[in-house]
Amino acid sequence: MERKISLFVSRKHAMTWIAAAFLMLSAVARIVLECINGIPCVNVWAYQVLPVAATVLYILIALIWGKEMFYKTAIPVWMIAVYFAFCVTTFGFSKLVIMLFWACLLFYAIIYTDITAGRGSKLFWLFLLQLAPLGALLYLHREALLAKDWAAASVILPDVLLMLGLILMVLAIRMHPLGEYHPTWGDRADGRKIRTLAPMAQITAYFQVERNTCSNLFEESFEISHIDRYIRQKRREGYKDFGITHVLLAAYVRGVAKYPQLNRFISGQKVYSRGEDIQYCMVVKKEMTVDSPDTSIKVHLSPRDTAIDVYNKLNAAVESVKATQELDSNLDSLIMALNLVPSVVLKFLVWLLKLLDYFGLLPGFLTELSPFHGSLFFTSMGSLGIPPIYHHLYDFGNLPCFGAFGCKRKALEVQEDGTVVQRKYIDVKFVLDERIVDGFYYATFFKYYKRLMAHPEVLDLPPEEIVKDID
């Protein structure tokens, strides 16, 4: 999969801090000069608040998120371009010249955004791009500078410091190794946008909006005599709680290693991939009684995980929750806090959460707590002594797959020679979001999944190859 270049700045690089210092001096100088000279109240937002906010925002993005999201510095750069557009309008130029300056500032912001988003490969052009506004600024105030009228020239000091800071930041920029993926515009915190889908796949989610109206139902029965032997072997090796859940989940994870499109999801009518982060959700009860409290947990798995890796991760997550006296979790604490909010306000908060989720702006800690955001939800009906059910998907969040398996059952089967053999089966049912992949892909995956269930011992070794999803 071809990757665009990804730029970053590191807090370990001295030039990053020097550039940030120049930018901070620019904001301070702007405030000090405003206090000395004063600015008409009507112009405070355009000439004071806007550039200071842009400068501070640029510093925060570079220092806090510069390692993975340096491309977002385009936001303050656009704010800076708007600020300079305001400045040009008050310089006494003709309308034609003003429009020419506006066109140059628009070009400046667009090119900066394009390069930092990874579509330009030459940092040299970014350096020249930052020199251009500084050169224009010095040229427009050349008379005061040549006359050494420092009082008159001091008005451009904040802008000169600002542009010097941006130029120095270019010197701190580095490129991530080619082939590694890093977020860019359109991506979410929990997934990478798929940009090379077929046209029909890209538009389907706009016509089929609700997840539950786009669900496919799939059921399969697995003969588990060999799986029972595999489970007993694992328990003899010391994995005392090893069970059918671990085998089903490990086989699904191994299937994603070969068919990565299963780890996609739909949000905001766009298709995203979680890459190698397989987020498994499940409900945990402290005791198997009707009045026992339950909570949801989320376990981060990888296509590289073996059956034992899945066992260790899952058991560690379950034990960490069951160890608490009230079977409480961060999710339960959040829900209890929301329950304290009046109903009308709560309805608005839920609407706001849905809106933020639509645009990919939901805070990461909320998507981490949410059982509605993940790759897969598995529930055991067998532990309840009933057959599996078709569990609906959730319209909130982005969970594309819900699986349920029932209790073990025995069946008598007549062989070709007329003899009768008793076999053991387990029934599994899935509800799947049909928009993330087509039916042929699902069918191919489940054929492979069934082969894995027939030979669970292959799950003891990591996969030979991890297939990557398309760009």
Please check whether residue 142 lies inside any domain of the structure.
yes
Domain of residue 25: give its range. Answer: 7-175
Same domain, 93 and 147: yes
CA nearest 171: which of 127, 128, 114, 112? Answer: 127
Final residue before a domain boundary, out of 175, 206, 234? 175
Alpha-carbon gap, residue 26 to 51, rounded angstroms:
9
> Is the residue at 198 inside a domain?
yes
Q: What's the chain's average pLDDT?
A: 89
* Rounded CA separation 41/37 (Å): 12
Structure tokens at 97: 């010249």
pLDDT at res. 287: 62
Which tens digits make up the pLDDT trace of 359-376?
Answer: 998 988 889 989 999 999
For residue 232, the model assigns a pLDDT of: 95
Contact (CB, 8 A) for 210 and 201: no
Amino acid 38: pLDDT: 64
Q: What is the average per-residue pLDDT within 235-253?
A: 94
Looking at the structure, tell me whether residues 242 and 373 fall in a common domain.
yes
- Domain-embedded: residue 360: yes
What is the DSSP code (8-state) at residue 10?
-
Q: Which two tokens stand for residue 258?
A: 């070969």
Residues 106 and 233 in one domain: no
Q: pLDDT digit string (tens) for 434-445?
A: 999 999 999 999
pLDDT tens across 18-31, in order?
A: 999 999 999 999 88
Using an 8 Å Cβ cutoff, are 312 and 333 in contact?
no
Q: Provide the whole-model pTM.
A: 0.84
Number of domains in the chain: 2
Q: Are residues 259 and 391 in the same domain?
A: yes
pLDDT the model gives residue 189: 87
More confident residue, 294 or 237: 237
- Residue-by-residue DSSP string for 359-404: TT-S-HHHHHH-TTSSSEEEEESGGGTS----PPP-SSS---EEEE
- Helix ranges (H only) for 38-122 are 44, 50-64, 74-89, 95-114
Burial (CB count <10 Å: 0-12, 13-18, 19+), residue 295:
buried
Asked whether residue 223 falls in the same domain as residue 368, the answer is yes
Report pLDDT digits (tens) over 334-356. Answer: 777 888 888 888 899 999 999 99
- pLDDT for 71 beyond 80: yes
Domain contains 470: no
pLDDT at 285 over 90: no
Does 50 share its domain with 128? yes
Q: What would the pLDDT profile of 180-221 be if each residue is shown by its tens digit?
A: 788 889 899 899 999 899 888 889 999 998 898 899 999 999
Q: What is the pLDDT of residues 138-189, one digit of tens each?
A: 888 888 788 887 777 788 899 999 999 999 999 999 988 877 788 889 899 8
- Please report where in the chains the tokens 């904001």 appear, as a residue: 27
pLDDT of 39 above 70 = no
